[in-house]
Chains A and B, each alone.
Chain A
C-alpha cells in the first residue's frame, strides 16, 4: 500500500504538460466521478442523520418495488 501511494505521488509530480489544443479543464471531466465521491463523503459527514434517513427511504422504496 505504501508503495502504491509513493508511486501515485511521483506520478502526480511529473505529469507532462497538456497540448495547447486540449481544453486543460477537460481533465476535470475525467475526474468528476472521483470529485463527486469526495463531495458525497463531505455531505455525509456534515449531515449524517439526514443522509442515513435518505438512504433508508431509498432502500425501502427499492424493497417495495
Chain B
C-alpha cells in the first residue's frame, strides 16, 4: 500500500502491482540477476507482460513478522543480506530492507517486493537503518534480553527503534556487538560522505553479517511447552501410538488439501498430516515450539509455522486497522481440516473461553472437518486445572462438550484412547455440508 511507485491489488489467483509510471527498459526486473533470483526461489516469480504492471502468483497463506519464530526472522535477514550483496555487484541496492518484504512459502523465506530494487545513487545505503530496526535489534533483544522477536513486532510494526533497544538493553548493550547501532541521533540531516564515491554497500553487508553471527537463535529449545513431548506423563506409549494411528487413518480417509493444527506444540501431528500430502498451518502460542518446528522443517513447503496466541489474536493492523489482515481473516475457510488436539480444555478452563465460543471459532476456521481431543471431567489434568482456576470439573463434562459440538457439527466417529480419560472425535460441519 505504501509504495509510491504503484498500487498493490490482491486477486484470487495472483497479485498485481499496478505502476503509476511504466517500468524503464533498464529496470532491474529485466536484468538476468532478477531471473536468477527467481530460479533460486529467492524472489517470488513475476511477469511484466505489460510495462505498467507486475504480476505474481499468490501464496494461499502468508504469515507476518509478528507471527514468526526467531529462526524465521534470522533466515529472512540472511536472505535480505544475500540479495543486497548480489545486487551491489551489479550496482543496485534495495530501496527498503523491511521484514515485511519477506514472506514464507512453508518454511522457506522468499523476497516479495519487486519494486524495491533500484540503482545505487550514492555511497550510502538508505535502507541500512531499516534493516537494523527490523532484523538486528529485534534479534538482539531476543538473544540478550529474552523477548521473542514476534512480541517486538506485535508492538512495533516498523521494527525496534534504536532508542527503545537502548532502553531494553540498558548498560548490557556495551557487552554486545550491537551497541553502535543503538546510538542516539544528534542531528536531523545526514549528509552523504562526498570524499569517496565508492558505495558502502558491500562492506555494510559484511558488517551486518558480522553482527548477525552473534544473533543466531539458540538451537536447543529451553523448557516450557517445548519439552512437552518428552515429559507428558498423562499418555502411555500405547495411547500415543493409538492417537497417531487414529489421526493418520482419518487424514488418509479425508485427504485434506489444507490442515490447520491449532496448539501444534512441536508439530508432531502437523508432520503426520504433511506426510499424507496436506499443506499444514501449524500454530502455537509458544515461540520456542514454533522455532523448533521451523528449524526441523527448514525448506519444507508443506508446513507453515505460525506463532499465534488464540487467547489474544489481533484483528487487522497497519493503517486504519485494515492494511494488514489479522490471522482469523487469513485462516477463515482455508482449511479442510482443523486439528484441536489437547487444546479445548486449555482454552475453556485456563483462559475461561466459553465452550460455545471455542466451537464457533473452530467452525469458522474449517471448510468441513474438525478432529478434536476431548477430555472428561475425571481426568487428573482437568481436575488440576479447575482447582487452579477455582472452577468445578463437572462444568467441563464430556457430555457437555459433546452437546456443545453437536450444535455445529455432526459426530462421524468417536474413539476412546486406551488408559486415558480422553476421546478423539471426528466432526463434520453440517452447516457447510448443507450448502
| A and B part of one assembly | yes
The answer to whether residues A16 and B184 also contact, given A40-B206, A43-B206 and a CB cut-off of 8 A, is yes
Q: Which of B126, B161, B184, B185 has the most chain A CB within a 10 Å cutoff?
A: B185
Answer whether residue B186 sits at the interface, using C-beta atoms and an 8 A cutoff.
yes
Interface of B is mostly: helix
Inter-subunit contact A29/B124 (CB<8 Å): yes
Answer whether residue A12 sits at the interface, using C-beta atoms and an 8 A cutoff.
yes
Task: Name the interface residues of B189-214: CB closer than 8 Å to any CB of A.
Answer: 190, 193, 200, 202-210
A24 to chain B, nearest CB (A): 5
Inter-subunit contact B124/A32 (CB<8 Å): yes
Inter-subunit contact A36/B184 (CB<8 Å): no
* B213, closest chain A residue (CB): A42
Name the segment of B128-136, B386-394, B420-428 touching the other chain.
B128-136
Answer whether residue A60 sits at the interface, using C-beta atoms and an 8 A cutoff.
no
* A40, closest chain B residue (CB): B203
Inter-subunit contact A29/B183 (CB<8 Å): no
What mask results when residues 66 to 81 of chain B are scored 1 for a CB within 8 Å of chain A, else 0? Answer: 0000000000000000
Inter-subunit contact A17/B184 (CB<8 Å): yes
Task: Name the interface residues of A6-65: CB closer than 8 Å to any CB of B.
Answer: 12, 15-19, 21-33, 35-40, 42-43, 46
A56 to chain B, nearest CB (A): 18
Interface residues on B, range: 20 to 34
Inter-subunit contact B185/A27 (CB<8 Å): yes
The answer to whether residues A42 and B207 also contact, given A12-B183, A29-B190 and a CB cut-off of 8 A, is yes
Inter-subunit contact A24/B184 (CB<8 Å): yes
Enumerate the 6 nearest inter-chain pairs by beta-carbon distance, A residue then B residue, closest first.
A25-B129, A39-B207, A29-B190, A39-B203, A36-B200, A27-B185
Supply 24 A–B pairs (Cβ within 8 Å), ascending by A: A15-B184, A16-B186, A21-B188, A24-B184, A25-B162, A26-B188, A27-B183, A27-B186, A27-B187, A28-B128, A28-B132, A28-B162, A30-B187, A30-B190, A31-B183, A32-B124, A32-B128, A33-B123, A36-B200, A38-B207, A39-B200, A39-B204, A39-B206, A46-B206
